[in-house]
Structure 1
Amino acid sequence: MRNLGERIEDKDIELVLRVREGDLNAFRTLVDLYKDKSLSLAASIVKNPALAEDIVQDVFMKVYKNIGKFKFKSSFATWIYRIVVNTCYSELKRKSNTSLNTENDQTLREIGHAEQPLQLTGEDQRKYIQKAMKMLRPDEALVLRLFYLCEMSLKEIEAITKSNSSKIRVDLYRGRKNLKQQLEQLLGDEIDYLL
């Protein structure tokens, strides 16, 4: 019996082949499948939601233009996430790092010192986790998103990040530890409502 990952990869291959034949609906389907995770990855690297959206639009233009170069040696997900990572790093080189951080530190301090106990909904939890992720080092945030959000294996993360498995394991460990510390700073004793 085939597992879910194989079915997804088979569907991706079918869609890629249809896009190569000029099927725009197949390309729209690929965009729908990968836009949210691509945006999350981009945001974790550049730390700026508006810039991340621009990058993801650029990524999908690159994907459409270069889909004929996809060689099926890796999964389509690995290929597209590698394009996201490369495009983000290129953009970071082009811009100064100080102009990318649009987060207001005062707002974060105010959130971290709420006077009333928090009643966190799923949406609230997501917002706090995103705020904490923005405070992580880009390589830690990237591997956490690839591993947990995109459900990539260590081998796939190696292909995307061009890092060795030892570094990825260390980044996952440190990323989880630092994420918890950031959440504790934001929420104080209220972290139990989130975890």
Structure 2
Amino acid sequence: MHAFRLLVEKYKDISLSLACSILKDRDKAEDVLQDAFVKVYRKLNSFRGTSAFATWLYRIVVNTAYNALKKEKRQAFIRETEVDLPETKEPEKYEDLKREEQQKYINMAMDKLKADEALVLRLYYLCDLNSKEIRKITGFSNSKIKVDLHRGRNNLYRQLERILGTEIKDLL
């Protein structure tokens, strides 16, 4: 049980980010994450090791998030996008504050992207996965992954321009 707790601690932040990119709601993403980790715990003995553990785990998280999204659409609930604002810090921690500010704007812009584009961008940049690993997790074709990366980058930049205007060059 202690070993599983360590796995949860190691992978929870990235897994939560993946679920958030699909669901666009942190509370729902946390619920999905809890469900996904329960599935992982129950199916741990079925992990064959043909891929990295992280790939297997992220696949479960992504599938669980998509299933929750489908269920939500069937029930015709209307979602609202939430943005987590960073806690205020002491003024002498300017670099930390600047980094948090950058992350806030990036998250706001990512929330405006199509779910597939945001997911592929997060897997590629946040999880540092290659297209083969992304394909295993998402089931997307290589061409879809490349298109989503290209469009996602362009759309992310456009969203940041809308949010920040001319300040975008200072932020990035």
CA distance in 1, matches of 2:33, 2:82: 20
Q: Which residue of 2 aligns with 1:31?
A: 8
Kindly indicate whether the alpha-carbon contact (under 8 Å) linking 2:81 and 2:111 is maintained by their aligned counterparts in 1: no
Aligned residue pairs, count: 157
In 1, Cα distance between equivalents of 2:81 and 2:99: 24
Aligned ranges for residues 15-26 of structure 1 at < 5 Å? 24-26=1-3
- Residues 1-195 of structure 1 mapped to structure 2, 5 A cutoff: 24-96=1-73, 99-103=78-82, 121-195=98-172
Distance 2:37 2:47 in 1: 14
Instruction: Name segments (4+ residues, structure 1) moved above 2 Å.
Output: 100-104
- For 1:33 and 1:100, the matched residues in 2 are separated by 29
SS in 2 for 1:99: coil
Unaligned ranges ≥5, structure 1? 1-23, 105-119
Partners of 1:160 and 1:102 lie apart in 2 by: 24
CA distance in 2, matches of 1:101, 1:194: 26
Contact 2:131 2:142 in 1 (8 A): yes
Per the alignment, in what secondary structure is the counterpart of residue 100 of structure 1?
A: coil
Q: How far apart, CA to CA, are the structure 2 residues paired with 1:55 and 1:98?
A: 16
Superposed CA RMSD: 1.4
- How far, CA to CA, are the matches of 1:25 and 1:162 in structure 2? 32
Q: Which residue of 2 aligns with 1:9?
A: none
**Scaled by the length of structure 2, what TM-score is found?**
0.88
Paired amino acid for 1:102: T
Give, in whole Å, the separation in 2 of the partners of 1:40 and 1:103.
Answer: 13
Is there any run of 5+ residues in structure 2 with no aligned partner, and where? 84-96
CA distance in 1, matches of 2:81, 2:121: 22
2:2 and 2:169 map into 1 onto residues whose CA distance is: 45
Larger-Rg structure: 1
CA distance, structure 2, for counterparts of residue 138 and residue 98 of structure 1: 17
The TM-score normalised by the length of structure 1 is: 0.78
CA distance in 2, matches of 1:193, 1:62: 43
Shift of 1:98: 5.5
